[in-house]
Amino acid sequence: MIDASEMIVFVTGATAGIGEATARRFIKEGARVIAAGRRQDRLQALAAELGERCLPLALDVRDESAVNDAAGGLPKDFEAVDVLVNNAGLARGLGMAPDANMEDWRLMVDTNISGLIYCTRALLPRMVARERGHVVNVGSVAGTYPYPGGNVYGATKAFVHQFTLGLKADLLGHNVRATCIEPGMVETEFSLVRFKGDTDRASKIYAGLEALSADDIAEVIHYVATLPRHVNVNVLEVMPVVQAFSPFAFKRD
């Protein structure tokens, strides 16, 4: 296993949920972590708690120029990124496609697809040059199993899955790894964001069941990243025990 204390880890969406838990998990093992996110107050609080090995980075991954500037301006002690965790992403709305809000669709594409490829393109060439690195993309079971209202969100996560496999093909011979982690139901701010701050509606999603936690997924990310360097987990799908696959739906006359 790789010693995490030797790593520099760049985590997007680090101000809450899986991203924050991932930052904490790697810091616990002695890694240096670049915690990137949009909410600067939360980043500062996280860095104050985790100490000097946590570098807070205010960043909107949808802004390509800002991503490139951030990647090119990292302090010397943090510039040789070993692991990029593309975690920033969201679902917005649960409307059926004919009635869905185009701004919601655009936000999901800009964040889940464009933001992910901006960060990857900004950091990947340096990994290739060093012959060392790992891109961990956070996808979703929604990229494989469709559900009503999951239209564009599921499509963006299907992109993440296929993009990760494409990276694996392109990186052959460069000693750089690529992994897609695909969680099922995780109790974070995910539903609160999807339902635009409607706490009652969001809380009902998790009522009466034990969903995965952000810490569970952080543990999975840490696991795949610290496996021996010759081991590449291509795709890892994980659900809570209480979640499974839905039967086919039918519209009967």
Residue numbers annotated as active site? 153
Q: How far apart are CA 106 and CA 101, in angstroms?
A: 9
Question: What token pair was written down for 15?
Answer: 């101000």
Q: Which residue has the tokens 């009522």?
A: 207
Asked whether the CA dihedral 171, 173, 176, 179 is positive or negative, the reply is positive
Task: Report the run of H or E that residue 194 belongs to, with start and end.
Answer: helix 190-194
* Contact yes or no for 137/86 (Cβ under 8 A): yes
Cα–Cα distance for residue pair 103/92, rounded to 1 Å: 9
